[in-house]
């Protein structure tokens, strides 16, 4: 239905833009196949009025003209619907060029490259590349290896619910999750999806590398309100363990756990190949520690230690 409506709106817009004189409702109905299929005049009139309002909401300027005989016609003059010239200064052009270089995923890279070519053809200034001559040593990238990234990105854009199988850090088996996707965020080299988990009735964050199988789209609209971007980003940051609200004391085997070592506020050599680290942490540290297995021991706090033990037991049980 959405595709049929989009095609109908496009055909109506083309008719109104392609005419040199106002077209009556009768002429438009005879020119557009979808209108010919309308069962009654009332059905056509309602459809036409909705389509006309939708095109105006999209920014198309539609004029209503009445001739000497009192007949009403419609047209969209090209001069009234022509976009202004694109003007970018050198700094704006540099920002767009840098953004286009960030993506490594093939489809996104192609789209970004094509968009830049069109902007340059329209007169966008060539920006100096601050990385020219040093690209092998320093070049901005956002790696995207997860196959779930593209379908989730499109689902976020189209506000479309999805279903996928997800394996939690403390489980060897995947569970089916029904999610209303909000946005994708990249933290410390990992991609996360923030959205509304329908079964749990709460917002959740999912690490894309733990999604197994295909992401399936579902019909229907969102049931929960989508928060503003700032709130979503804060949620992703918190669930990814980036927001530190407490401090933990752990024992870590030397030569392992480098991401944790980078966050440590204090390190003490315990001997026998072990170090003691003070780690500021928030949500998600227990999952990190479980992945290190026998290389780490939680000394305090007691609730973090209990969470890690519960996760390890769940993995052993599965």
Q: Could you tell me the sign of the dihedral formed by the alpha carbons of 292, 296, 301, 306, in that order?
A: positive
User: Hey, what are 51's tokens?
Assistant: 């389509």
Q: What is the predicted pLDDT for the residue at 135? A: 46
Domain-by-domain residue ranges, the chain? 1-122, 148-240, 246-316
Mean pLDDT of the chain: 79
* Residue pLDDT, tens place only, 138-184: 455 556 677 888 899 889 888 899 999 998 766 668 899 999 999 88
Q: What is the CATH number of domain 1-122?
A: 1.10.10
| 207 vs 171: CA distance, rounded Å | 14
- 148-240 belongs to which CATH class? mainly beta
Q: What is the predicted pLDDT for the residue at 130? A: 47
Do 88 and 95 touch, CB atoms closer than 8 A? no
pTM over 0.95: no
Do 206 and 192 touch, CB atoms closer than 8 A? yes
CA quadruple 47, 49, 50, 51: dihedral, nearest 10? 80
Q: What is the predicted pLDDT for the residue at 85? A: 67
121 pLDDT tier (thresholds 50, 70, 90): low
131 pLDDT tier (thresholds 50, 70, 90): very low
Highest mean pLDDT of the ranges 66-80, 135-149, 245-259: 245-259
Contacts of 34 (CB under 8 A, 6+ apart): 4, 7, 8, 11, 47
Mutual orientation of helices 285-292 and 302-317 as an angle, nearest 10°?
50
Judge whether residue 1 has pLDDT over 50: no
114 pLDDT tier (thresholds 50, 70, 90): low
Q: What angle do CA 196, 148, 161 make, to 5 degrees?
A: 35
Q: What is the predicted pLDDT for the residue at 179? A: 96
Higher-confidence position of 143 and 16: 16
């Amino acid at each position: 239905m959405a595709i049929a409506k989009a095609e109908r709106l496009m055909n109506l817009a083309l008719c109104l833009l392609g005419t040199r004189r106002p077209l009556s409702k009768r002429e438009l109905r005879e020119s557009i196949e979808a209108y010919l299929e309308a069962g009654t005049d009332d059905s056509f009139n309602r459809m036409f009025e909705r389509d006309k309002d939708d095109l105006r909401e999209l920014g198309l300027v539609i004029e209503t003209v009445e001739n000497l005989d009192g007949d009403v016609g419609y047209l969209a003059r090209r001069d009234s619907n022509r976009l202004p010239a694109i003007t970018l200064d050198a700094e704006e052009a540099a920002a767009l060029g840098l953004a286009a270089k960030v993506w490594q995923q093939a489809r996104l890279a192609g789209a970004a490259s094509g968009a830049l070519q069109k902007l340059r053809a329209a007169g966008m200034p060539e920006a100096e590349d601050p990385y020219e001559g040093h690209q092998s040593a320093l070049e901005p990238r956002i790696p995207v290896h997860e196959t779930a990234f593209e379908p989730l990105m499109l689902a976020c854009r189209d506000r479309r619910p999805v279903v996928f199988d997800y394996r939690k850090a403390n489980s060897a088996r995947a569970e089916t999750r029904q999610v209303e996707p909000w946005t994708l965020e990249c933290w410390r080299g990992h991609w996360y999806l923030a959205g509304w988990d329908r079964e749990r009735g709460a917002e959740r964050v999912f690490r894309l590398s733990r999604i197994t199988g295909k992401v399936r789209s579902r019909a229907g609209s969102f049931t929960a309100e989508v928060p503003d971007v700032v709130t979503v980003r804060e949620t992703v940051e918190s669930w990814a363990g980036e927001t530190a609200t407490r401090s933990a004391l752990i024992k870590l085997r030397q030569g392992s756990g480098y991401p944790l070592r980078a966050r440590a506020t204090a390190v003490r050599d315990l001997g026998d190949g072990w170090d003691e680290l003070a780690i500021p942490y928030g949500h998600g540290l227990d999952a990190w520690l479980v992945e290190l297995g026998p290389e780490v021991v939680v000394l305090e706090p007691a609730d973090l230690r209990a969470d890690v033990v519960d996760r390890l037991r769940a993995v052993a049980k599965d």
